[in-house]
Structure 1
Amino acid sequence: MCTGKCSRCIGVTLIPLAGACIAANLLLFFPDFKLKYVQENDMLTPEILYLGGIVGAGILVFFPGLHIHATGTGGCCANRCGMFLSLIFATLGAAGSIYCLTMSTIGLINGPTCRDTSGHWSRPFHNNSEIPELGKDSYLFNPDSWSICEEPKNVVLFNVILFALQIGFSALEFILCAIQAINGFFGCLCGTCNKRRARPV
């Protein structure tokens, strides 16, 4: 495939993925779709506050996605210099996606912050400190243990779904950015191979 067409396909895919990661991270601020939890930082999972989806897989991928797409549209960026810049932007996007992937994975493993059955706000699934019956097993494979979180309502399922989406989206972003880094390298050497449309006489 032509390096320009490849860039266009990658760019047009990265942009909605970045938007989806931003949306997922924003939703995580509002468990049970209520505003009161965002007003107190200790009621939210720390990994939410690190903005992995908004900054990492969002902003740091969205703007590179725009430039990467521009290198394949035949405009001012569709040249060797533009492809070199797309390589740099792809590297930036890959770093952002790794950041989001890391934060989301940690957030998923450690579980949410919630008010447990004893009335305290904590992370009961972190190291299974408050659920000895789980042993060394992860709470992810024992949905019956999720009832220990009484508030926000269904916060465990809420976090699992949104963090899992961020993991999937950011992993896909990383793959696409890695492909674009290789594509950008060859684009520097060979150009974008975009054919200029002939002007009508």
Structure 2
Amino acid sequence: MCCSVGFARSLGLALLPLALCCILANLLLLFPMGEITYIQQGRLSQYIWYFGGLGGGGLLMLIPAVAFITLGKCDCCWNESLMMCGSALAAVVGLVGSGYCFVISGLALVQGPQCFTTYGWTYPFADKGGRYLMQPETWANCTQPVHIVEWNVTLQCVLLGLAVLEFIICLIQMVNGLVNAVCRPCCYKQEYSLNA
């Protein structure tokens, strides 16, 4: 059991920097190239306002991170199986959060950024189904904000990668928690019968 708790705590410690990086990446998306003008004018892409990194991969991910780190430190009347079940439930919250972050970032990446072109403020890559990602020569069509396509693509890819890592960590802990919650009582019964 100590190994399982220690393993869960290490997974929680791994989740913390990932969650903070998701929050940071989402905040950077709100200020293209560090400028506040575009958020004031409402010129940001619609998917940025869904806060995939801030909410899903960030704040929601803090729930399993804290649950894993504090596992076994509380002097509750819970037995060990219930404690591991609780960590599995916290992992499910993390799976939902990372899944949300992944989906929103993927949709934002496919749609592309809102930018100023010769046709005014528009989504010039929305009808391309993400093919613009393989055509960097078309990115210059966006004149404002400067380098917005590179900014958007980089940060959305970072969020996608972080969401995948968070999902894997939460999935590992969910399996770990369920296996320990189900198998641990059986192991104790076997040990008890052998000692008797």
> Is TM (by shorter chain) over 0.5?
yes
* 1:108 corresponding residue in structure 2: 109
When residues 98 and 137 of structure 1 are mapped into structure 2, their CA distance, relative to the original with a 3 A threshold, is closer
AA aligned opposite 1:169: L
Cα distance in 1, alignment partners of residues 32 and 130 from structure 2:
25
Instruction: Identify if the C-alpha distance between structure 1 residues 137 and 99 changes in structure 2 by more than 3 Å, giving closer, same or farther.
Output: closer
Is 2:172 aligned against 1:174? no
RMSD between aligned residues: 1.8
Q: Structure 2 counterpart of 1:55, which letter?
A: G
Cross-structure match for 1:124: 124
CA distance in structure 2 between the partners assigned to 1:10 and 1:181 by the alignment:
11
Q: Which residue of 1 aligns with 2:81?
A: 80
What secondary structure is seen at the aligned counterpart in 2 of 1:2? helix
Contact 2:63 2:93 in 1 (8 A): no
In the other structure, the counterpart of 2:25 is: 24
Amino acid at match of 1:47: Y
> Contact 1:111–1:125 at 8 Å: present in 2 too?
yes
> Normalising by the residue count of structure 2, what TM-score does the alignment of the two structures yield?
0.86
Please report the TM-score for the alignment, with normalisation by the length of structure 1.
0.84
Equivalent in the alignment of 1:132:
none
CA deviations on 1:131-183 (whole Å, 9 max, x unpaired) are: xxxxx771111111000000001000000000000000001101111111011
Query: How many residues end up aligned between the 2 structures?
Result: 180
Q: Which letter maps to 1:9?
A: S
Alpha-carbon deviation of 1:2? 2.4
2:50: which partner in 1? 50
Higher relative contact order (CA 8 A, sep 6+): 1
* 1:6 and 2:4 matched: no
1:151 aligned residue = 144
For 2:152 and 2:130, locate their aligned partners in 1 and report how far apart those are by CA, in whole Å: 18
CA distance in 1 between partners of 2:13 and 2:7 (Å)? 10
If each structure's helix is expressed as a fraction of its own residues, which one has the higher value? 2
Give the C-alpha shift of residue 187 in structure 1: 2.8
Tell me the CA shift for residue 9 of structure 1: 1.6
- Structure-1 separation of matches of 2:130 and 2:163: 26
- 2:80 maps to a residue whose letter is N
Distance 1:62 1:145 in 2: 39
Name the SS for the 1:115 alignment partner.
strand
CA distance in structure 2 between the partners assigned to 1:99 and 1:19 by the alignment: 16
SS state of the match for residue 60, structure 2? helix
Alpha carbons 1:21, 1:166 under 8 Å: kept = yes
Once the 2 structures are TM-superposed, how far is the Cα of residue 83 of structure 1 from its aligned partner? 1.7
Shift of 1:68: 0.9
Aligned AA for 2:162?
F
- In structure 1, runs of 5+ residues without a counterpart are 129-135, 192-201
- Paired residue type of 1:185: L
